[in-house]
Amino acid sequence: MASHPSRAKTWYGHGLPYIAKKRLPGHLIAIEGTDGVGRSAQIELLRPWLELEGYAVSNTGWTRSPLLSETINEAKAGHRLTVTTFSLLYAADFADRLEHEILPALQAGFIVIADRYMYTAFARNSVMGADPQWTREVFGMALVPDLVLYLDIDVKSLIPRVIMGKGMDYWESGMHLALGIDLFDSFERYQGRLIDEYRRLSSEFGFLSVDARLPIEELQGELRKHIAEYLSAAYRNSRPDSADNRASTRKE
C-alpha cells in the first residue's frame, strides 16, 4: 500500500474532542454534486484505479449509516418530515459514519472517498428554509476534507439524465416544498436552486469544479487528474525537507 503522510487535519467547528488529537495519515476526498449528476458511478471507477496505484480505499456515502439508513428511508416514505427533523436525521447519519467509518479509515492511512459530505446538508437545508448558521453549528463535528471535487451541471442537462436513469422522485424533486404544479416543474425549480447554492458553496469553500456534462470517460479522467495532483502535492509537502516543514522547525 502506498503510504503518503498528509498535512494535519482540521475540523470544521468544534470537532470531536476525544479524537481531535489523534493522527490521521489518510486522505479524505469528497465528491459533491446534486441528485442524478453521476457521483456514484464516478466513485465506482475511482476506487479500482486508486487501488491499482497502491492505495487502500474506503467509500462512504449519504444515508449509509447502519444505525440510521433504514430510519431515514422509512421517515422519507411518509412524506411528512419537517425541515428540522429531516436535517437532524441526516446529521445523525453523518456523525455515525464519521466516527465509525471515516475516522478509523483515516487513522489506518486509507483514502476515504465520500459520496456527498456536509456541503450537501448546507445546500439542501438552505433551499428548504433552515437557518444556515444553525445547520453549520449542527455539523460542527465535521472533519474538513483534504479535497472536494464538485460535479457541476446545469438543470437542462441534468433533466434527461435523471429521466433516463432512476426517474424523478418526491424528495429530489422538492415536492415537499410545493415549488411547482407537477413533479417535473418542481424538480426543475428545486434542482435549479440547489445548483445555485452548490455553486455559491463552491466559491466559499474552494471546491475544484469539474464539468459533469462531459462523457463518463472524460469526466473520470478529469477527476483522476485532480486527485493525482493532490496526492503528489500532499506527499511533497509532508517530506521532512519540504519548505513548510523547514519553516515549522525554525519556529520551534
Q: What is the pLDDT of residue 5?
A: 45
Specify the residue for cell string 448546507.
122
Domain residue ranges of the chain, discontinuous segments joined by +: 27-235
Q: Is 82 helix (H, G, I), strand (E, B) or coil?
A: coil
Q: Is 54 left (phi over 0), alpha (psi -120 to 50) or beta?
A: left
Q: What is the pLDDT of residue 70?
A: 81
CA distance 196 to 183: 20
94's grid cell = 453523518
- Cβ of 87: how many Cβ atoms within 10 Å? 21
Q: What is the pLDDT of residue 113?
A: 98
Q: For residue 76, give Cα distances in angstroms to 81, 94, 121, 230.
A: 7, 17, 16, 37
**Domain spanning 27-235 has what CATH number?**
3.40.50.300
* 43 secondary structure, DSSP code: H
Query: Cα 80 to chain center, whole Å?
Result: 26
Q: What is the pLDDT of residue 2?
A: 45
pTM (2 decimals)?
0.87
Q: What is the pLDDT of residue 241?
A: 62
188's grid cell = 426543475
CA-based end-to-end distance of the chain: 32
pLDDT along the chain (252 residues), means of 10: 56 77 89 95 97 97 84 74 86 93 96 97 94 94 96 97 88 86 93 97 97 97 98 82 47 42
CA angle, 73 as apex, 70 and 78 as ends, to 5°? 130
Name the nearest CA neighbour of 17 among 96, 112, 99.
Answer: 99
φ, ψ for residue 130, nearest 5 deg = -75, 155
Q: What is the pLDDT of residue 1?
A: 42
